[in-house]
Amino acid sequence: MQKFSSHVVEKCLEHFEESPSRIIHELISVSCFEQLLQDPYANYVIQSALAFTKGPLHASLVEAVWSHKMLRTSPYCKKIFS
């Protein structure tokens, strides 16, 4: 993911009421979710998603992130897991 595209996704999560669930489900369902967690820009998208979601959507995102808890020590994942 590129820096500016990550900003676009973050803004979509923040400002569009219908987009978060679609974006979150897309993020969770990709086969490269583990790579997103470790990406220098995509990890900010995951952090924003965790900040802007609530309820079952937030729970499913947390579950997806915690399934990769072995990445806790990765430099870009530390903030996600804190």
pLDDT for the residue 50 = 92
CB 37 within 8 A of CB 74: yes
pLDDT at 73 over 90: no
pLDDT at 20 over 90: no
Q: Spell out the SS3 assignment of the chain.
A: CCHHHHHHHHHHHHHCCCHHHHHHHHHHHCCCHHHHHHCCCHHHHHHHHHHHCCHHHHHHHHHHHHCCHHHCCCCCCHHHHC
Cα–Cα dist 61/30, whole Å: 13
pLDDT at 19 over 80: no
pLDDT at 55 over 90: yes
Question: With bands split at pLDDT 50, 70 and 90, how would you rate the model's confidence at 34?
Answer: very high
What value does the mean pLDDT take over residues 12-38? 88
